[in-house]
Structure 1
Amino acid sequence: MPRYQHIARQLKTAIEQGELAPGTRLPSSRTWAQELGVSRATVENAYGELVAQGWLERRGQAGTFVSNALRFETAPPIPAVFAGESPEPKPFQMGLPALDLFPRETWARVMGRRLRTQTRFDLALGDVCGEAILRQAIVDYLRVSRSIECLPEQVFITSGYADSMRLILRTLSVPGDSMWVEDPGFPLIRPVITQEGITLAPIPVDADGLSVAAGIRDCPQGRFPLVTPAHQSAGGVALMRSWRCRR
């Protein structure tokens, strides 16, 4: 496509989308040619084509304008459905930490310092498993807080709980597998599981966490159990230690 036709098409699209209203004065061909890095003749040809099609009109020394003869039917304004809603999250919302306790000032200060000291290499793609420094910090944390011994090479950084679950299921499961899930349990993860073709098997939760006996009875073909070791949602119970340690 010749360059002038490409410019004409872009102008026509801008007019159709309302970015250039009827009566809008366009830059002179000399000015726009300098901005676009093309010859003045290229811009003149683009203007001439749109004038011939009725999109633009020339007004002598005044310049080139979007034609006043153009009339577009505008769609009625879409009501702002969410305009009246408060940006503040609802109390006791699942999966959301205490935002009022987050050290925003400290975070902003650290982020600002980090951005000011960035190099061009920091903008490149990092390790697909996550930054090595972060993975080492997680290893150190797990050793102290959970008594879990692991290596940074065994840690993968994901975007969250749902992303981790998808990665696990796509690696270890096949569509049609059954999974034990706590009932009641964290509701937001269930759609993620079913989207991977996994059949949910709700298993009751008692004082010791998910009832393994009920799972064996109700869904003996279950391939995976999804359990919460501590602070189960929504009962807050902890999984029985003997089941937690079983392999």
Structure 2
Amino acid sequence: MTTSTASEPETAPADKNFLPGPVLLLGAPGVGKGTQAKALMAEYGIPQISTGDILRANISSGTALGKVAKTLVDQGTLVSDDLVNQMVADRLRQPDTHHGFILDGFPRTLNQATWLDEQLSAAPGTLPVVAISIVVDYEQLLHRITGRRISPAGRIYNVYSNPPKVAGICDVDGSSLVQRPDDSEAVFTERMKTFEGQTAPVVEHYRKQGRFEEIDGDHAVEQVTAEIKSALKRLRQGSGQ
């Protein structure tokens, strides 16, 4: 039984002469990866495939894989690579992936990357994954995350780049702004260590095969999107695909 996620776009590919194929977007917390994923979904009419979404969809739908996963989650046990791989394989068989897809949260490890390569190479006509990493200076990322302040209504400010007129007070309704616990420097530092430790082998895997590029994320959103699109075409042309 297959499941679908809520992140599937409705638009048709904008450039019918270019198929982006499978795209892995990498980026540390705060680089704007989610924003760029949405832009690529709209541009090419491809879905974003999130392992978190897949896991929740399988559990809520009561699939065979979902039942196994729910037992593990309820026990506080990590879901194994093998189970996640099976769910991803199931999702990749759905027809909305034919023009390509954006991978979110997978592959996280070298083993997962190797498995994915083998999975895609076994499917006739399927392009291999290309990986694009959005890079922003560490201090800039730190300011993006730790400077974030939010009003009860969800309005977002940043004490460094977009401060309220009165410190700690929402410009619109006068409510007090708060910093989320996850936006502290200590949490950010730990998240960065985890990200770098997990990502390094995956990056090296794709770099060695000529399927990796870095993009400077410290620009306007539209410029970063344009550079990602150019990088995708370079990567595909460079590998003769």
Q: Shorter chain as normaliser: what TM range?
A: under 0.3
What is the TM-score of this pair, normalised by structure 2?
0.24
The normalised TM-score by structure 1 is: 0.23
Higher RCO (CA 8 Å, separation ≥ 6 residues): 2
